[in-house]
Amino acid sequence: MIWAGAIAGVAAAAWAVRGRSSQVFAPSVWHGDRSGRQVALTFDDGPSERTPELLELLERFGAKATFFVCGQNAERLPGVLEAVARAGHEIGNHTWSHPWMDFTSKAAMRDEIGRTQKIVETLTGKAPRLFRAPYGVRWIGLGEVQREYGLMGVMWTSIGLDWKLPADKIAGRLLRGTRSGDILCLHDGRTLAANPDITPTVAATGEVLQTLRARDFTFCAVSAMLER
């Protein structure tokens, strides 16, 4: 009984930190409105040198997406971030340096999030309204920091694991059982790496766009989905 209780406690703690539907440490969403035929494509870890390829794909399909950017990458590639904004896509906050935030102080979280809010607003004229925690890890104090900056947390319905899988497997994960309101997670960067190889991500994104368009889905930013 003692071991069972300990295991249950560990499982509950793990869900509180990383569970997609957890609200323990900060308010967040993992899907949007289930009516209609809309899904939200999201991209983490950018901007990167390869982000423009995704912008071209999205334009070809008339799709809007949400890019959760790292402040250090935005500082390194301001022109790419500005291109994302000019194309009408939503920009969210993915911290400054993409840290694991478990066992992180509130002051450190405030610095990571606040610096990224500032650089995105400086470069685009608009501060993010959405926040995605690196690795999906939330921690004590995050909810207060989100409220300070007026941010809603965003998890995901499906994640492509595109940093390690080939394109067909990535697309398969995202297309399996897709429903209206799903938030799909991909990556246009690889944490803070320069010139990352996101070839599988680009190929999988094209397949997802084509397949879901054939199923009469449309693509919108997360905020637009939540406003429904």
- Residues with active-site annotation: 44, 187
Within 10 angstroms of residue 167's Cβ, the number of other Cβ atoms is 19
Closest CA to 152 of 74, 222, 67, 64: 222
Helix axis angle for 167-175 and 199-214, nearest 10°, is 40
Q: Is the peptide bond before 47 cis (omega within 30 degrees of 0)?
A: yes
Asked if residues 82 and 115 have their Cβ atoms less than 8 Å apart, the reply is: no
Q: Exposed, middle or buried, 198 (CB in 10 Å: 0-12/13-18/19+)? A: buried
Q: Across the strands, what pairs with 159?
A: 185
